[in-house]
A and B are shown apart, each in its own frame.
Chain A
Amino acid sequence: MKIIGLIIALSTGVLLICATGDFPRWADPASPASTHLSPHFIEKTMEETSVPNIVTAVLADYRGYDTMYETAVIFTAGLACFILLRIFVKEEPGDRLYRHLLTGVTVRVKEGTKLPPSEDFERIDATWTPPDLIIKTICRFLIPFIQLFALYVIAHGHHSPGGGFQGGVILGASIILLAISQDLRTSVRRMREKLDAVLCAVGVIIYAGTGALCLLLGLNFLDYSALASVLHCDPVTARSHGILIVEIGVGIAVMCTMIWIYNNVSSIGKYDEGL
């Protein structure tokens, strides 16, 4: 069975490498892509959308449909992780452990009794180990700057490499860093599960809603120049602003999906302490 697999894999590889011979040469000026599409994008992007970064303009404006469904795919990936992994177990019987945040004293609460509601106690697992002081402090210093950089990447996607996907991933990674450096409960307290799931869908809705708004205003789906009457500016600037709105939607959706997937994978859907 292994040999058959090897033969199939090798022959597919050889066929694919042979097929690349039919491609136009790299950066060939006579290839169809270079003769028809690229000149239009290179010459007209600035006057049609006033976005200097052509990649962003193609991604969010000319090929807006593709990006919308990419966002939907990412949302579906998060949803699939949630449906496959999340288990809603009733509280396991037995004693619970709480830790007093100010003194570090651990309190064992007998089954059936409850602590008085207080902000000073945090729920911990039996295997809890204190996070390393150096790692915890460095990450606390680092996370705000990572988030600021992510916002810059989203907002500056018009002029430099970057955009909703990259910025969203970096934003999500900052929350994941919090979960790794301390524990999952700390990060879930900052980013509740319900909020996370709702924002995930909100991001996709912002994207699709912008497209639908263009449709309502009488132009094609995702033709942002229709937003000119809403934003009180000329159609070219409206396309630039439309791209920004869409990128923000993508950023929110991607950020929340990354956090959602990490939370479910690292705690096998139990939302306890994580790694």
Chain B
Amino acid sequence: MIWQLDLAILTLVVIAGIAAITVKDLLGAAILFGAYSFMMCLLWSIMGAVDVSFTEASVGAGVSTVFFVAAVFRTTRRTRD
């Protein structure tokens, strides 16, 4: 485990998480959530949990981003709060 890499990915996770809840554009939030999931996937594989990382990559970063984007397209793109 390389601690510099670990720290960089952890920082990106925090940044992506905070950005996803503050950004006004919901489509952007969905994409940021996908980025967050990918960073989590990297963290899992660094910790040696390859099965969890695989699930995170396919479900979290893959399909759920598609669901979010579909839901944004069918509702509204901007939040009111």
**Contact: A173 with B58, CB < 8 Å?**
yes
Chain A residues closer than 8 Å to B73, beta-carbon distance: 266, 275
Chain B residues closer than 8 Å to A53, beta-carbon distance: 51
**Whole-angstrom distance between the alpha carbons of A136 and B51 in the complex?**
32
Is A151 part of the binding interface, using a Cβ–Cβ cutoff of 8 Å? Answer: no
Chain B residues closer than 8 Å to A64, beta-carbon distance: none
**Contact: B51 with A162, CB < 8 Å?**
yes
**Whole-angstrom distance between the alpha carbons of A211 and B71 in the complex?**
37
Q: How many residues of B contact A (CB 8 A)?
A: 15
Chain A residues closer than 8 Å to B62, beta-carbon distance: 169-170, 173
Is B14 part of the binding interface, using a Cβ–Cβ cutoff of 8 Å? Answer: no
**Whole-angstrom distance between the alpha carbons of A173 and B62 in the complex?**
8
- Determine how close the nearest CB of chain B comes to the CB of A34; give it in whole angstroms: 14
- Determine how close the nearest CB of chain B comes to the CB of A87; give it in whole angstroms: 13
- Determine how close the nearest CB of chain B comes to the CB of A274; give it in whole angstroms: 8
- Determine how close the nearest CB of chain B comes to the CB of A49; give it in whole angstroms: 16
**Contact: B55 with A265, CB < 8 Å?**
no
**Whole-angstrom distance between the alpha carbons of A162 and B58 in the complex?**
10
Residue of A nearest to B74 (CB): A268
**Contact: A165 with B55, CB < 8 Å?**
yes
Chain A residues closer than 8 Å to B23, beta-carbon distance: none
Is B7 part of the binding interface, using a Cβ–Cβ cutoff of 8 Å? Answer: no
Main SS at interface, chain B = helix
Residue of A nearest to B56 (CB): A166
Q: A165-B55, A166-B58 are in contact. Are A265 and B63 (CB under 8 A)?
A: no
Is A262 part of the binding interface, using a Cβ–Cβ cutoff of 8 Å? Answer: yes
- Determine how close the nearest CB of chain B comes to the CB of A157; give it in whole angstroms: 9
Chain B residues closer than 8 Å to A176, beta-carbon distance: 63, 66
Q: A163-B51, A258-B63 are in contact. Are A170 and B74 (CB under 8 A)?
A: no
**Contact: A166 with B63, CB < 8 Å?**
no
Is B59 part of the binding interface, using a Cβ–Cβ cutoff of 8 Å? Answer: yes
Q: How many residues of A contact B (CB 8 A)?
A: 22
Within 8 A of B (CB), among A149-193: 161-163, 165-166, 169-170, 172-173, 176, 180
- Determine how close the nearest CB of chain A comes to the CB of B31; give it in whole angstroms: 15
Question: Given A55, A163, A265, which contacts B67 in the complex, CB threshold below 8 Å?
Answer: A265
Chain A residues closer than 8 Å to B74, beta-carbon distance: 265-266, 268
Chain B residues closer than 8 Å to A172, beta-carbon distance: 63
- Determine how close the nearest CB of chain B comes to the CB of A105; give it in whole angstroms: 29
Is A202 part of the binding interface, using a Cβ–Cβ cutoff of 8 Å? Answer: no
- Determine how close the nearest CB of chain A comes to the CB of B60; give it in whole angstroms: 10
**New A-B pairs, 10, CB < 8 Å, besides A165-B55, A176-B66:** A163-B51, A165-B58, A169-B62, A169-B63, A170-B58, A170-B62, A265-B70, A265-B71, A265-B74, A266-B73
For the complex of A and B, list the 7 residue pairs with the smallest distance between their C-beta atoms, beginning with the closest: A266-B70, A161-B50, A169-B58, A55-B51, A265-B70, A161-B51, A161-B54
